Each structure stands twice: as C-alpha cells, then as structure tokens.
Amino acid sequence: MNKTLVVSALFLAMSSINAEEHSSHGAHEHGSATLGIAQDQNLILIELKSPAFNIIGFEHAPHETHEFDAIESASNQLALGGKLFSLPKSANCKFLDVELHSELFELEPDGHSDHDDEHEHGDEHEHGDEHEHVDEHEHDDEEHGHSDIEAVWTFNCKHPEHVSGISTNLFSLFENLTDLDVDYIVDSGQGSIELSPKNAL
C-alpha cells in the first residue's frame, strides 16, 4: 500500500478548506513544514513534508563526510516513529513502519565521487572546454537547488476513535523546524492547527 497516496487522498477533501489558511507559507519555506494526520480504518498515518534544510541543515548534494553523516543521522531519527509522536494511551496504538522519500537519502559517498570522476574522465578529450562549462553550470544548479523530505509513519490502533490528539517532539530533534501546519482527519474529527516549538501539543 502506498501510504503517501492514502494520506493525500484523505486530505484532498480538506485542501480547499485550508488553502487560504496555509497560503501565507510558501511551497518551500525554510523553517516551515506540513504534517498530515489521517485515519484508514485501524491505521493512523502521519505524513511530513518539509524542506531538507529543516531536517538536515542543508539542501545541496553532499560532498563532505560530515554532510553524509548528517543525512544518515536524520534518516535514523525519522525512523524512530514511536519516539517522534505520542498518541493517546486509550487508542492502544503500535508503531508499524516509516517510509522516507528524498533524493538526498539515495546518495552514497563512493557512488557520488565515482560518478563525478568517471564523467569527467570519460568526456575529457571528447568535449573539451565546452563540456567543462556545462558541468560547472549543472554543478551550480545542484548546489543551489531545493530538496524536500517526505516521511509517512504508520501506527496501528485498536481504538482509533480515541485518537483525539497527537503530540510530537519534532521541534526538539530538528532545531531548524520552527513552524508546522497540521491538517487532520480522523474519526474523532477533522481540522487544522499550527504548531511551533512553544506549542507542540
């Protein structure tokens, strides 16, 4: 099951209701992110969409060891779904899994370096200065481009109707995250709320 599609479908009906409220935040604004909470029978799905800067501290393709370490650390933290969110005890929820999506999570230190070396060597004599100019331009675009992170956590709840609120410690783990726009649609109700480090429920 594609959990991202499930969450997106459940929130589609609410998009027009909350469009005006969330229009003040850009589609890619550092510090800001969106969180969707949806129910699919006994499953509670929580979807985070955030600029990579909020989670990792940068958005360019990593080149240094400490940058790859930062990506790995962020991935490991996001995988701890049961420690990122607290659901009501009466709902009797169990964390099942997490799906992470970002081009930064797919990069490998050796693979990135080998690709660059092979690319430069293979075309060194064939394209000359023109090729070097193109590579430099593409590299600049890569360095200054935007990268996003999507995460979907799945919880199985014996009593999902008791999920009246969910608290999170995302702000304490990721200090660059300062604003979280939350939309929720569960058996107990639907709506939206804006969270901050001082108001994380």
pLDDT string in tens for the chain (201-residue length): 444 444 444 444 344 334 444 444 445 678 999 999 999 899 999 999 999 999 999 988 898 999 999 999 999 999 998 899 999 999 999 999 999 999 998 877 665 444 444 444 444 444 444 444 444 434 433 444 678 999 999 999 999 988 888 889 999 999 999 999 999 888 878 889 898 887 766
**What CA–CA distance (Å, rounded) separates 16 from 177?**
25
Work out the number of other CB atoms within 10 angstroms of the CB of residue 47.
Answer: 22
| Structure confidence at residue 110 (pLDDT) | 62
What Cα–Cα distance (Å) separates residue 91 from each residue in 11, 165, 166?
22, 10, 11
Residue 159 C-beta-side C-alpha neighbours within 13 Å:
8
| Structure confidence at residue 33 (pLDDT) | 95
| Structure confidence at residue 147 (pLDDT) | 85
| Structure confidence at residue 165 (pLDDT) | 84
Is pTM beyond 0.75? Reply is no
| Structure confidence at residue 78 (pLDDT) | 95
Nearest Cα neighbor of 7 from 42, 66, 48 is 48
Regarding beta strands 93-101 and 85-86, do their DSSP bridges make them parallel or antiparallel, or are they unpaired?
unpaired
**What CA–CA distance (Å, rounded) separates 140 from 4?**
31
Q: Which two tokens stand for residue 66?
A: 């400490």
Nearest Cα neighbor of 140 from 151, 132, 128, 148 is 132
| Structure confidence at residue 145 (pLDDT) | 60
CA 19 to chain centre: 20
Contact 180, 195 (CB under 8 A): yes
Q: Which two tokens stand for residue 124?
A: 């060194």
Regarding beta strands 43-51 and 148-157, do their DSSP bridges make them parallel or antiparallel, or are they unpaired?
antiparallel
| Structure confidence at residue 7 (pLDDT) | 45
**What CA–CA distance (Å, rounded) separates 201 from 197?**
9
Strand partners, 163: none
| Structure confidence at residue 27 (pLDDT) | 56
